[in-house]
Amino acid sequence: MPADIGSVQLVGAGPGAADLLTVRALRAIESAEALLYDALVCREVLDLAPERCLRIQTGKRAGKASMKQQVINRLMLRLARRGMRVVRLKGGDPSVFGRVGEEKAFLSAHGVPVEIVPGITAASAAAAQFGFPLTHRGEARRLLLSTARLAAGAVLEEGWAAAADPQTTLALYMGRDQVAEVAGQLIAHGRSPATPALAVEKAGCRDARSTASTLGGLAAAVRAAGPTGPVVVIIGEVVAQADIASAHASPLERAQA
């Protein structure tokens, strides 16, 4: 390995707000010499990087043009070989549908030191913001994080039995356009149409929007809301505890208002 080779940190930027970054993530961003960031990373987080830091937007938004994964891999490698401290900044947690395994394997195979820095994932952010638990004694004994889409855009064909268990809280990522089919599959596999459901757009951000419904009415409710940003859908009995009205300010902020 060359003595002057740099390093890459695969960092979770959390759901959006800068104060939801981990301390380790903050330190990584503040010391970055090159910052490769996804489209979901907000401006207030990017502004934490040094002024002279090289910033490269890598895209990765569903349905829109974005930098190919192979290009991102080669770019990180090239920058690291220049001796730079590279931060690959991903929305949420990099290990949750963030291709962190592919990127780490590629860089490690080329002798680049890699560190993974976790972040708050959208499901956790949504639950905290809207005041409900993801697991709860007597209602939800497991949490299932899933994406609705396969590589070709089709909806998943397996795993519905576990998702349909009434004791499972299902957090569905990247499923905004597949809500109707997902709901239909869950109901067909035995999940009650009356199961509480919540679609959260831009979870964790101050401008987050929520759409509360039931599993049976979820598709129509999401269609009527017309979200354009990233959406996480949470389905399960725990959603009935959501405090929709007070989601945009913490109890301390409301008490001080």
Q: What does the chain come to in residues? A: 257
Residue of 60, 90, 104, 202 with catalytic role: 60
- Active-site residue, 76 included: no
Contact call for residues 249 and 183 (beta carbons, < 8 A): no
Among 2, 5, 1, smallest CA distance to 84 is for: 5
68 as an active site residue: the answer is: no
- Annotated catalytic residue within 4, 165, 174, 202: 174
Q: Which amino acid is at 97?
A: F
In the three-class reduction of DSSP (H, G, I as helix; E, B as strand; rest coil), residue 115 is classed as: strand
Across the beta sheet with 114-117, the strand order is: 54-59, 34-38, 85-90, 7-12, 114-117
Cβ–Cβ < 8 Å for 92, 12: yes
Catalytic residue among 1, 4, 19, 38: 38
202 is catalytic: no
**For the CA atoms of 49, 50, 52, 53, what is the dihedral angle to 10 degrees?**
-30
Give the tokens for residue 203: 């979870």
Residues recognised as catalytic: 38, 60, 174
